[in-house]
Amino acid sequence: MWLAILGVALVLTAVGIVYLISRFGRFAVVRRLAGNRRSLRILLGAVPVAALAVYGIFDLVNMVIILLHLAAFWLIADLATGLFSILKKRKMKTPAAPSDAPDSSAPPRPYITGIIVLVVCAVYLAVGRYNAFHVDRTEYCLETSKELPGGQLRILLIADSHVGTTFDADGFAEHLAEAMKDDPDIVIVAGDFIDDSTTREDMLAACRALGGLTPKYGVYFSYGNHDKGYNNSRGYTPQELEAALTASGVHVLEDEVELVADTFYVIGRMDRSDSSRRRNGAGNSGDNSANNGDNNGTGGRRSIADLTKELDRSRYMIDINHQPNDYEAEAAAGVDLVLSGHTHGGQLIPLGPIGRLMGANDRTYGLETRGETTFIVTSGISDWEIHYKTGTKSEYVIIEIRQK
Cα separation, 374 vs 316, whole angstroms: 12
Mean of the per-residue pLDDT values of the chain: 90
Phi first, then psi: give them for residue 245, nearest 5 degrees.
-65, -45
Q: What is the pLDDT of residue 95?
A: 55
Query: 210-257 pLDDT, tens per residue?
Result: 999 999 999 999 999 999 988 777 889 999 999 999 999 999 999 999
pLDDT of 372 above 90? yes
Cα separation, 181 vs 383, whole angstroms: 23
pTM beyond 0.85, yes or no = yes
Query: 275-333 pLDDT, tens per residue?
Result: 766 555 444 444 433 333 344 334 589 999 999 999 999 999 999 999 999 999 999 99
CB neighbour list of residue 92: distance below 8 Å, 6 or more residues apart = none
Mean pLDDT of 175-189: 98
Q: What is the pLDDT of residue 105?
A: 60
Q: What domains can you pick out in the chain, each with its CATH number?
A: 2-129 (no CATH), 135-282+301-403 (3.60.21.10)
Cα separation, 295 vs 355, whole angstroms: 31
State how far Cα 93 lies from the chain centre.
51
Question: Within a 10 A sphere around the Cβ of 109, how many other Cβ atoms?
Answer: 12
CB neighbour list of residue 344: distance below 8 Å, 6 or more residues apart = 160, 379, 380, 383, 384, 389, 392
Q: What percent of the chain has pLDDT over 70?
A: 89
Task: Tell me the residue length of the chain.
Answer: 404
